[in-house]
Structures are given as C-alpha cells and as structure tokens.
Structure 1
Amino acid sequence: MPAYHSTYNDEPNVRQLASISVLPLHTRSRGPAPPPVDPSRPDIVDEAIDLFRANSLFRNFEIKGGADRLLIYLILFISDCLTRIAASNPTWTKHEALKQLASHAVDHFALPGDANFPLSSLYAAPASRADAEALRQYLTQVRQELVARLVEKVYGSSDTPSRWWLAFTKRKFMGKSLS
C-alpha cells in the first residue's frame, strides 16, 4: 500500500522555493503565505495533521511534487513536537505545551542547502539569499500554525496529551528526524 500524498501537488501557478511549494494557509500568524482561494478546503497544515498517523508507518515515500516536500517537512516537524511533549517531565499541560512548542516553532532551524539539514538529498538549495529568507519566513509561519492546531488535536479538551497520539513518537517517518 503506498503512502498518502498531498492533494496540492496538482495546483497550477504555485511559487516554489528550494523545491518546496508555497501554499495558501488558513492562519492567524503573519507571514508570506498567500490567503486560501477556497476557505472551505483544508490547507496543507490540516492535511499534514490528518495524514501524519498513516504516513508515519511508511519508510519510503515517492515525492510527486513540491507539496509532497512540504508535507514531508511538516510530518517530521509533527513527530519532533510529539517527541518533545512525550519527553517532558513532568508532562506539560495544554498551555505549557502550546508555549513550549510555539517557542520551538520560531527557533532557528536548518534550511535546505545548510550543512545540518537532514533531508538534503530530497530538497534543492534556495537559489538566492532572498529566496532562503522567504523560505525561512514561510516555514516559520507554517510551523507556528501547525503547533497551534496540533496542540488542539493532541490535548483536545483535557489537560493531558492523548496517549494515542504520543504512541507515534516511536515511529520515524522515512527513518528521518528534523532534530
């Protein structure tokens, strides 16, 4: 059974930065992401959260476009966030998790083309310094939005994380990790 791919791979006229599609977001945080054309359609963050559990079971993933590259990045970031929640001692409350992960989302991180970027073989380096900065701003915005939605999913209405979500910290999508 093949892995699940992004529905945004076939979108026309999508800007590419370092072979990553810059896709529209339903977001409250400021950044370069374009506004969604169809507000009722789930965005890439919703897709990443929905496909995380199924795709985390796969060690191989055929990339079909720039949206899949963004999906891979987001799935690995979700895994990193869940690992941080699971490793917290004592276990973070919902508010603490949101605060800690929001801080993690804006921390400095490696981009494609950097020596310490773990997925260098799958991504092209940014064409210029301006493209690298635009990519950093976009990924920061996407990471912030993902953290806000992920904490809502993992904690729900309780103050303790769902063990069902945290069980996926043992799985490594494609055998990779962002940290």
Structure 2
Amino acid sequence: MPAYHSTFNEETDVRQVGNMAILSIRTKIRGPAPIGDPSAADIIDETLDLFRANSLFRNFEIKGPADRTLIVLILFISDCLAKIGAARTVPSQIEASKLLNTLSVDQFPIPGDANFPLNAHYAPPQSRVDADYLRQYLIQTRQELAARLVEKLYADGTGKPSKWWMSFQKRRFMNRSLGS
C-alpha cells in the first residue's frame, strides 16, 4: 500500500524555496505565508489528516514540492507528540499549548543546514534572503500546526490528550526526527 501524498502537488502557481512549496494557510498568526481560502482545506489540515496513516510508512516517494512541505510538518507533529509524552505529568490543554508553541519557535534546522536530517532530499535555499523567508514560513506553519494539533488532541473534553493520537508518539515517519 503506498503512502498518501499531498493534493497540493498539482498546483502550478506555488512559490518554491529550494524545492519546498510555500503553500497558503488559514491563520491569524503573523508571517510570510500566503493567506488561504477560509472555506478550503490547507496544508495544515492535510498534514493532520494524513499524519497517522503516513506514520506507518518507512519509505515515502516524493512526488512534488508540496510533499516536501508535508514531510517536514509530519515530522514536526511527531516531535510535538514526543514532547507532550515526555512531560512528567499529563499536561492540560493550556500547558500543552504553551509547550508546543515554545517548541514551534525554538531554533531548528532548515534544508541546507548541516544538521537537517533530510538534506539528501531537499535543495538548500538559493540565498540568505530565501533561507530567512523559509525559516519564517516554517515558524508560522509550525505555530499554526501546533495550535490545531492541541485542538485535536484535547477535542474530547476530558482534559487529557487523546490516546488515539498519543499512541503515535514513539512512531517515527521514515525513521526520522527533526528533534535533536
């Protein structure tokens, strides 16, 4: 059974930095990402929908620039779940939100950096300006993804993260992790 790929691979008028797609998102968080249609699904929704299914795969054939963005966001979700799972006590929704927001803005490698785990599959940004733009875009998408992930984790109203999501905290998509 093949892995699930991004539906945004077919879009032709998408800006690319390196070979990652800069896709529009629905967000109120300030940043360089293009603003998406409020009624349409964006890359964040797609990442949350495909995370659990794609986490079961060790191999992933990259079919376009949107898949590269999807991979980075799936790996970030894995890091988020691991961070919540590593907490001494089960964090409340507010504590988890703070924890993941801090994780989303912490220093992290981008394609082209020596410690980026998937440099073989990603082209580095062409210039320093492109690298800064990509970092700001990823910070914005990570913040939005963290906010939406917390909503999904605590959607049942029990005050504890969903066991159906937390069961994926030790799974590694493609046996990789963005964390150190």
TM-score (norm 2): 0.97
Q: Deviations for 1:149-169, whole angstroms, at most 9, x for unmatched residues?
A: 000001112311111111011
Hey, what does 1:89 align to over in structure 2? 88
The CA deviation string for residues 65-92 of structure 1, in whole angstroms up to 9 with x for no partner, is: 1100000000000000000111111111
Q: Where does residue 100 of structure 1 map in the other structure?
A: 99
Letter in 1 for 2:159: D
* 1:136 corresponding residue in structure 2: 135
1:58-116 C-alpha deviation (Å, 9 max, x unpaired): 00101011100000000000000000111111111110000011011011110111111
Q: Could you tell me which residue of structure 2 aligns to residue 29 of structure 1?
A: 29
Superposition RMSD in Å: 0.8
Q: Specify the SS of the correspondent of 1:169.
A: coil
Partners in 2 of 1:152 and 1:102 — Cα distance? 13
Identity %: 61
Partners in 2 of 1:163 and 1:47 — Cα distance? 21
Following the alignment from structure 2 to structure 1, what is the Cα–Cα distance between the partners of residues 84 and 99?
9
| 2:161 match: secondary structure | coil
- Inter-partner Cα distance in structure 1 for 2:131 and 2:98: 27
Equivalences for 1:46-125 in 2 at 5 Å?
A: 46-125=45-124
Q: Match for residue 164 of structure 1?
A: 164
Give the Å deviation of 1:171: 1.3
1:170 deviates by 2.1
SS of match in other structure, 1:61: coil
Cross-structure match for 1:8? 8
- Quote the Cα distance in structure 2 between the aligned partners of 1:165 and 1:13: 34
Matched residue count:
178
In structure 2, C-alpha distance between the alignment counterparts of 1:66 and 1:144, rounded to whole Å: 21
Give the C-alpha shift of residue 120 in structure 1.
0.7
Give, in angstroms, the shift of residue 39 of structure 1.
Answer: 2.8
Gaps of 5+ in 1: none
2:65 maps to a residue whose letter is G
Deviation beyond 2 Å, 4+ runs, structure 1 = none
Q: Which residue of 2 aligns with 1:43?
A: 42
Q: TM-score, normalised by structure 1?
A: 0.97
**SS, match of residue 170 in structure 1:** coil
The alpha-carbon deviation at position 172 of structure 1 amounts to: 0.9
How far apart in 1 are the matches of 2:105 and 2:76? 12
